[in-house]
Structure 1
Amino acid sequence: MNIELVPERQYQVFNSVAGRHHHHQPIWQNIKNLLKSCFGTQSDSRLLNRDGSLIDINRLRQNINDKQQSYKKRHITWPYLLNIYSPSMTNSDKKIYQNRARIRYNRLKRTWQERVSQGDSFYVTLADTILKDVRRTDRHIKFFKKKKQILFNIMMTYSVYHPNPGYSQGMTDMLTPIVYVFIDESMSYFAFCSLMNRYMSSLFDQDQIEINRRIRLFNLILHSIDNELWNKINVNEENYLYVYRWLLLDCKREFYRFNHVLRVLELVWINSISPFVISQSITNYRSLFTIFICISILQEDRQIIFSYSNDEDLHKYFFSSSSSSRSHRSTKRILQQAQINYSNYILSQK
């Protein structure tokens, strides 16, 4: 394609006219958008090769760790974080994967839809349970008002084909961020399956062994980092029930803005790659980093916590679901403090 350059003098004349007539600006914006679509943005080129394969997984993690991700950038990074795409997959490989995922997902979905339409009691009961939770999950966010059917379909499909752990309350909380980023129903399903298989399924086991182990670990780490805060909370053992929700959902309900929730989750995920040995047991980075986010939230609310003089007020603080109890928190400050505490603790264990 040949591009005819405008002579400098003619360009200066045109530029002065364009400065007086702002309706010409969209033309140049369209040209900029066209160039971006042809050559890619600078941020994309740092992560992906021209064929769409990932340049380096460590560079991707560092990119996420260093700065807030845009909505568009998450379309690139989250499939790698959730192990949907392998680093070597090209653009054509990704299209093939997406088509196969859509075919497979639709086949799985049709099976339980037929059983529900036939009135199978197990499937009907499961559908009623999931539908109740779907209707109240993130209902304050406009995006999900028209996505309830997608959330329901994915959650039903997962629960039917993953009887262990099956469906548990709280799973829809972890599904909504994935649907928000991936949008596509079939891709969201496989991303959610990956999240559960790699990180979370043991947390929803009925024996509660894993979640109780993490609560005990939280207790030990908080005691070592902030003994004064630990003593304040430890007055009433029931207060530790709030940690169950925080650790189960990666603190997803503890931040006021949904975009901040996405930021918290992606930082949790990039700290979930390698195992870390502590107290003769394997604890992956995910569980540790989530614990440090919990502790940083408590430190952020330190003055509020110490202002309460009785257990009843403290209990209300821990179990309040109102937005006013979260709106004062600085997500950036909490995450920075979590990373500092996290790094210092790992160094202290070596």
Structure 2
Amino acid sequence: MSLGRLLRRASSKASDLLTLNSSGSSGSPSVLDGEIIYSKNNVCVHPLQVLQGLGEHHPGYLCLYMEKDELLGTTLILAWVPNSRIQRQDEEALRYITPESSPVRKAPSKRGRHAQGSGEPHQPSPVEQSSTSSLDTNLQFPENSGQLQNSKWDEQQKVFALEQICGVFRVDLGQMRSLRLFFSDEACTSGQLVVASRESQYKVFHFHHGGLDKLSEVFQQWKHCTETHLKDQQVSNEKTCMQFSIRRPKLPSSETHPEENMYKKLDVSTWLNHLNESGQVEEEYKLRKAIFFGGIDVSIRGEVWPFLLRYYSHESTSEEREALRAQKRREYSEIQQKRLSMTPEEQREFWRHVQFTVDKDVVRTDRSNQFFRGEDNPNVESMRRILLNYAVYNPTIGYSQGMSDLVAPILAEVLDESDTFWCFVGLMQNTIFVSSPRDEDMEKQLLYLRELLRLTHLRFYQHLVSLGEDGLQMLFCHRWILLCFKREFPDAEALRMWEACWAHYQTDYFHLFICVAIVVIYGDDVIEQQLATDQMLLHFGNLAMHMNGELVLRKARSLLYQFRLLPRIPCSLHDLCKLCGTGMWDSGYIPAVECTGHHPESESCPYGGTVEAPSPKSASEGKKGPKTREVFSFRK
């Protein structure tokens, strides 16, 4: 049998094979060892280490086939091979997607024939690739091959570099800890498959061109892939894939903000409608609300962001803003001159505490962004000056690693060095969204987040409590807060989250609701598998760049809506709703405050909270602390 025919074969008996019991009961079809039951080309893996100049997509061929197993009866083998290795007819790689019992293993297909395949338009199918010899594996070009051939050589070197990072992959799914499917499109055909080993190692496969729905059907038919532990005593639980779930991109209507989808992205015409003839922003509350729900079009971010970051006031006219820019440009020049006029001793001290770290950070910040790409890029030097000058402007904060991640997107959108500097000043001074690196500031953020989790996701909160002090420190979310989700989501989604937070709609702490949304949507594994602190850190770390940002935002908006419906809140969360003002309403959001009883520096609750009468059970618990209860709860 040719390799092409083998790879195209999808058994019509796949469902029967998948549901075979472990003992192979009479009447069931015989197990075909090596039977391919699913195959898909152009399934991508994204390298964790993005090499400069390389794209993030690395397509390959994925297949599932059956194999006999002593304990499970049958198991599923998942294999993935880069398209580039199939195209080169790499015999070692082809063995990974050719089962042991396949005739191809005994009689390899002949090379040099061009078979007809059914791959997707932008990439040859495995059949076409496996029978093509158009690429010379050795890539030996004549000495004067010219720029085109040199270009081919460079491209092939990039492919080889990617193959070193994302090589062939083959696992027995029966030995894995969990499988997770995350659909990212409305039709529920594209998304990610996440395979987790028992050692908390993850592999993420991206289905950009559909096919994930068919794979879902395969998994749902496989009897060893269930949402709960198997109760069959003849099969060891430790040998089964016990965790399988599907995450779909839609939230039920009961779990979405009632005003979801009512606002479109703020574009040029909509933005101009918010300005009067003098250039002042009218109905600021409505503008912030529109940005909170719809975001801002990329073409006008550079004009709107300075308002959100309080560089410009909404009441300022166009003429006043131009005068302010000129004034601030002079001030910025004075700050820079102060830095450049340091004494030799001051320069040495500044280099040790600030400049050394800044110089290291800027050269590796957002280099995949075209704005900062390439050697001797003046925009990188501009970012460097902004950070050095900020350390002089605000020596109390100085510079901390990660600030370059916050400056870079602002500079790329605002484009002007002085304007970017003052926007960054506004970001650090006027938004709670950014936590300074001081311990007390981070602890305040974590306190609020713990209390939100106690209200919204009690089971997860209880798991944190069971882990003791290490669990309650929630190390998995420190980076979320410090870097504003920039390392967790692609730039487009992360910046959309920034805008929603900067809008200060109904709360100054919307970033904490985003944190809770991530936990609610992607944290079930932590509870179901009782992950320890280090495993929890690894779990959420591996989800970075593989989560659905739009889904998280919708969930966060819903959580905020539900929070503001609560008639009573603990006094520990009093500040989450007090600073935003009433907007266009006559009254603000003032729920009754329930005292938690934890005020070591005050005999009474500073927020006027009252202590709820304890139930008989809570009274018997003595000094165990306030009641732990879930005020509202809704999941995916």
TM-score range, shorter chain: 0.7 to 0.9
Corresponding residue number in structure 1 for 2:365: 137
Corresponding residue number in structure 2 for 1:265: 498
Distance 1:346 1:177 in 2: 32
C-alpha spacing 1:116/1:74, structure 2 compared with 1 (3 Å): farther
Corresponding residue number in structure 2 for 1:96: 323
Pairing partner for 1:166 from 392, 395, 398: 398
- 1:180-195 aligned at under 5 Å gives the runs 180-195=412-427
Residue 318 (1) aligns with residue 540 (2)? yes
Residue 243 (1) aligns with residue 483 (2)? no
- 1:105-116 aligned at under 5 Å gives the runs 105-115=332-342
C-alpha spacing 1:116/1:297, structure 2 compared with 1 (3 Å): farther
Classify the secondary structure of the residue corresponding to 1:43: helix
Pairing partner for 1:224 from 455, 465, 469: 455
Shift in Å, 1:106: 1.7
Shift in Å, 1:141: 2.4
Distance 2:495 2:406 in 1: 11
Distance 2:478 2:564 in 1: 23
Corresponding residue number in structure 2 for 1:344: 562
Corresponding residue number in structure 2 for 1:21: none
C-alpha spacing 1:299/1:175, structure 2 compared with 1 (3 Å): same
Contact residue 61 and residue 270 of structure 1 kept, 8 A: yes
Distance 2:268 2:423 in 1: 26
Shift in Å, 1:103: 2.0
Q: Provide Cα deviations, 1:323-350, integer angstroms capped at 9, x if missing partner.
A: xx33432211111111111121133131
Distance 1:330 1:95 in 2: 40
Corresponding residue number in structure 2 for 1:301: 522
Q: Provide Cα deviations, 1:21-72, integer angstroms capped at 9, x if missing partner.
A: xxxxxxxxxxxxxxxxxxx953233111233221221122122123131112
Distance 2:364 2:268 in 1: 38
Structure with a larger share of its residues in helix: 1
Contact residue 173 and residue 249 of structure 1 kept, 8 A: yes
The TM-score, its normalising length taken from structure 1, stands at 0.75
Classify the secondary structure of the residue corresponding to 1:294: helix
Contact residue 112 and residue 123 of structure 1 kept, 8 A: no
C-alpha spacing 1:116/1:343, structure 2 compared with 1 (3 Å): farther
Distance 1:306 1:314 in 2: 10
Pairing partner for 2:550 from 309, 324, 332: 332
Shift in Å, 1:296: 0.6
Classify the secondary structure of the residue corresponding to 2:341: helix
Shift in Å, 1:155: 0.7
C-alpha spacing 1:214/1:41, structure 2 compared with 1 (3 Å): closer
Contact residue 275 and residue 282 of structure 2 kept, 8 A: yes
Distance 1:42 1:223 in 2: 43
Distance 1:188 1:172 in 2: 12
Shift in Å, 1:234: 4.7
Contact residue 250 and residue 265 of structure 1 kept, 8 A: yes
Q: Provide Cα deviations, 1:101-139, integer angstroms capped at 9, x if missing partner.
A: 222212211221233888821122221111112222223
Corresponding residue number in structure 2 for 1:209: 440
Contact residue 432 and residue 508 of structure 2 kept, 8 A: no
Classify the secondary structure of the residue corresponding to 1:120: helix
Distance 2:362 2:458 in 1: 39
Shift in Å, 1:308: 4.8
Classify the secondary structure of the residue corresponding to 1:347: coil
Number of corresponding residues: 293
Shift in Å, 1:180: 2.1
Shift in Å, 1:163: 1.4
Instruction: Determine which structure has more spread, i.e. the larger CA radius of gyration.
Output: 2
Shift in Å, 1:309: 6.0
Letter in 2 for 1:262: L
Distance 1:216 1:242 in 2: 14
Distance 1:200 1:148 in 2: 27
Distance 1:246 1:94 in 2: 33
Distance 2:380 2:458 in 1: 44
Residue 45 (1) aligns with residue 272 (2)? yes
Moved more, 97-106 or 238-247: 238-247
Moved more, 72-81 or 232-241: 232-241
Q: Provide Cα deviations, 1:149-182, integer angstroms capped at 9, x if missing partner.
A: 1111111111112111222222222212221221
Letter in 2 for 1:335: L
Residue 65 (1) aligns with residue 292 (2)? yes
Letter in 2 for 1:244: H
The TM-score, its normalising length taken from structure 2, stands at 0.43
Contact residue 133 and residue 172 of structure 1 kept, 8 A: yes
Letter in 2 for 1:52: G
Structure 1 unpaired stretches of 5+: 1-39, 275-284
Contact residue 137 and residue 173 of structure 1 kept, 8 A: yes
**Greater relative contact order (CA < 8 Å, ≥ 6 in sequence):** 1
Moved more, 178-187 or 84-93: 84-93
Contact residue 56 and residue 87 of structure 1 kept, 8 A: no
Classify the secondary structure of the residue corresponding to 2:342: helix
Pairing partner for 2:301 from 68, 71, 74: 74
Shift in Å, 1:235: 4.8
Letter in 1 for 2:462: N
Shift in Å, 1:193: 0.6
C-alpha spacing 1:82/1:328, structure 2 compared with 1 (3 Å): same
Structure 2 unpaired stretches of 5+: 1-266, 570-590, 592-636
Moved more, 329-338 or 110-119: 110-119
Contact residue 109 and residue 157 of structure 1 kept, 8 A: yes
Corresponding residue number in structure 1 for 2:312: 85
RMSD: 2.6
Classify the secondary structure of the residue corresponding to 2:564: helix
Distance 1:131 1:286 in 2: 33
Structure with a larger share of its residues in strand: 2
Distance 2:455 2:483 in 1: 24
Distance 1:132 1:117 in 2: 21
Letter in 2 for 1:179: L
C-alpha spacing 1:304/1:46, structure 2 compared with 1 (3 Å): farther
Classify the secondary structure of the residue corresponding to 1:115: coil
Classify the secondary structure of the residue corresponding to 2:508: helix
Contact residue 116 and residue 123 of structure 1 kept, 8 A: no
Percentage of pairs with the same residue: 24
C-alpha spacing 1:149/1:139, structure 2 compared with 1 (3 Å): same
Letter in 2 for 1:251: F
